[in-house]
């Protein structure tokens, strides 16, 4: 049984972490730390959670306790740099849901996040926690960089192809879509209902921070071709959808490619290989990543869908927590049976 600290627990991803930690069989207690919402009660911040979690006062992140075993950080980028070195030096386990420790090089961090990295020595020892693809044990790991939401969906949907057919790939173009919760809870006029209802728009074209993160892992797995990535905002609150177009040198057989994906994820309960392109509705509020592969001669189209706050953030973070402690990785996030007293 472990004690957990959630820094930034009053945000969108943090709320999901609270729900997961409340229900997890091996989390004996947790505290929530934040900034402007310190001293407020969880029931007043999240009225919908009343009766489903224990009410608690949010504590100030300025007076963080070092008594917990594991810390989730779900903070705006740059903020984790203030906490992670001290937590690591005190021997704590840390899962950072932000982007501060995902890239391997401080130069890349400066280029894409426009910040000097003050603890770059941790970039090499951290593990990039793409839990469904990286099947290595994490029991000796102290710092996990939880992948971003777009990278989670896109990497899971491309990596089997890249590993199996790296030298055959001429180019990959990826068109990805997110709901507005991907930008967090801070108000910004471009995310107002009056702006987004009935609307779709591309954003951060050729400059999205998730591009180097995606490429870093693709390169490590044998990718060496041109890659294009464009993100769009959808008029929905939650969900990531991505369509990747891959041009190959030679024809490929759809059935063998589907078999390759199924084999790659045979040990991954959260990746579902679909016979038709997935829909957002199939994955919302779940830790699943749904993937479809369609082939026409030398062209491959891979579609994928995830919930950005669960698989793209808190759900994968809980999976990584389970791996850090050597527990079943689906513990607390995959409910296979629901028993209703009235029906039993
Ligand atoms: N949203 C997603 O889909 C998603 C997916 C994957 C990863 N992420 C990453 O996860 C992190 C959090 O995202 P989010 O969407 O949950 O953001 P959010 O809704 O804006 O929440 C941010 C949280 O951080 C707290 N916070 C802000 N400044 C702080 C400080 N200086 N000290 C302590 N707490 C502070 C806020 O608390 P107060 O309000 O009390 O200040 C709030 O609880 C980001 O790095 C984001 O990139 C998000």
State the SS3 of 175-202: EEEECHHHHCCCCCHHHCHHHHCCCCEE
Where does ligand 1 bind, in terms of residues with CB under 6 Å? 7-8, 10-14, 34-37, 61, 74-77, 79, 97-99, 148-149, 181-182, 184-186, 308-309, 312-313
Query: Does residue 158 fall inside a structural domain?
Result: yes
Same-domain status, 67 and 182: no
Q: Counting atoms of ligand 1 from 1, which one is nearest the CA of 9?
A: 43
Same-domain status, 142 and 158: no
| Residues in Cβ contact with 334 at an 8 Å cutoff, skipping those fewer than 6 apart | 269, 270, 287
Same-domain status, 204 and 181: yes
Query: Does residue 343 fall inside a structural domain?
Result: no
Query: Does residue 334 fall inside a structural domain?
Result: no
Same-domain status, 44 and 162: no
Same-domain status, 130 and 216: no
CA 9/CA 45 separation, integer angstroms: 11
Query: Does residue 332 fall inside a structural domain?
Result: no
Query: Does residue 339 fall inside a structural domain?
Result: no
Query: Does residue 225 fall inside a structural domain?
Result: yes
Same-domain status, 135 and 267: no
Among 6, 9, 11, 146, say which to mutate for ligand 1: greatest number of ligand atoms within 8 Å of CB: 11
CA nearest to 143, candidates 332, 324, 341: 324
Domain span at residue 208 reads 149-306
Same-domain status, 180 and 319: no
Neighbour-count burial of 224, counting CB atoms closer than 10 A to its CB (0-12 exposed, 13-18 middle, 19+ buried): exposed
Starting at the edge strand found earlier in the chain, the sheet holding 201-203 runs: 201-203, 227-233, 169-178, 240-248, 299-306, 289-296, 271-274
Same-domain status, 203 and 153: yes
- CATH code of 86's domain: 3.40.50.720
Query: Does residue 341 fall inside a structural domain?
Result: no
Same-domain status, 143 and 280: no
Same-domain status, 317 and 250: no
pLDDT tens across the length of the chain (344 residues) = 999 999 999 999 999 999 999 999 999 999 999 999 999 999 999 999 999 999 999 999 999 999 999 999 999 999 999 999 999 999 999 999 999 999 999 999 999 999 999 999 999 999 999 999 999 999 899 999 999 999 999 999 999 999 999 899 999 999 999 999 999 999 899 999 999 999 999 999 999 999 999 999 999 999 999 999 999 999 999 999 999 999 999 999 999 999 999 999 999 999 999 999 999 999 999 999 999 999 999 999 999 999 999 999 999 999 999 999 999 999 999 876 555 555 44
* pTM, two decimal places: 0.96
149 among known catalytic residues? yes
- How many domains does the structure of the chain reveal? 2
Cβ density class 112-150: b for 16+ within 10 Å, e for less = bbeeebebbebbeebbbbbbbbbeeebeebbbbbbbbbb
CA 135/CA 89 separation, integer angstroms: 27
Same-domain status, 23 and 94: yes
Query: Does residue 338 fall inside a structural domain?
Result: no
- CATH code of 288's domain: 3.30.360.10
Same-domain status, 143 and 155: no
């Amino acid at each position: 049984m472990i004690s957990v600290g959630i820094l930034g627990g009053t945000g969108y991803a943090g709320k999901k972490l609270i729900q997961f930690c409340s229900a997890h069989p091996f989390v004996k207690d947790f505290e929530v730390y934040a900034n402007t919402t310190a001293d407020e009660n969880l029931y007043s911040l999240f009225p919908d959670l009343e009766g489903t979690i224990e009410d608690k006062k949010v504590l100030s992140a300025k007076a963080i306790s070092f008594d917990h075993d594991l810390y989730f950080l779900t903070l705006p980028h740059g903020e984790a740099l203030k906490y992670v070195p001290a937590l690591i030096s005190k021997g704590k386990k840390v899962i950072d849901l932000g982007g501060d420790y995902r890239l391997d090089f401080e130069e890349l961090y400066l280029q894409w996040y426009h910040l000097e990295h003050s603890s770059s020595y941790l970039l090499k020892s951290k593990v990039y926690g793409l839990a469904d693809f990286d099947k290595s044990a994490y029991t000796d790991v102290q710092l996990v960089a939880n992948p971003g939401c777009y990278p989670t969906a896109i990497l899971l949907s491309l990596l089997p192809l890249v590993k199996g057919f790296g030298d055959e790939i001429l180019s990959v173009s990826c068109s990805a879509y997110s709901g507005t919760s991907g930008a967090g809870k801070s108000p910004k006029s471009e995310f107002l209902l009056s702006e987004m209802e009935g609307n779709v728009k591309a954003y951060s074209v050729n400059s999205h921070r998730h591009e180097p993160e995606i490429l870093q892992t693709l390169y490590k797995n044998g990718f060496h071709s041109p890659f294009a990535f464009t993100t769009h905002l959808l008029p929905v609150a939650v969900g990531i959808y991505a369509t990747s177009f891959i041009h190959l040198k030679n024809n490929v057989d759809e059935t063998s490619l589907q078999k390759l994906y199924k084999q790659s994820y045979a040990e991954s309960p959260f990746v579902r290989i679909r016979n038709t392109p997935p829909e957002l509705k199939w994955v919302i509020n779940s830790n699943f990543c749904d993937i479809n592969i369609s082939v026409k001669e030398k062209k491959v189209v891979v579609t994928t869908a995830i919930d950005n706050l669960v698989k793209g953030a808190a759900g994968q973070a809980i999976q990584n927590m389970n791996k850090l402690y050597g527990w079943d990785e689906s513990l607390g996030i995959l409910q296979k049976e629901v028993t209703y007293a009235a029906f039993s």
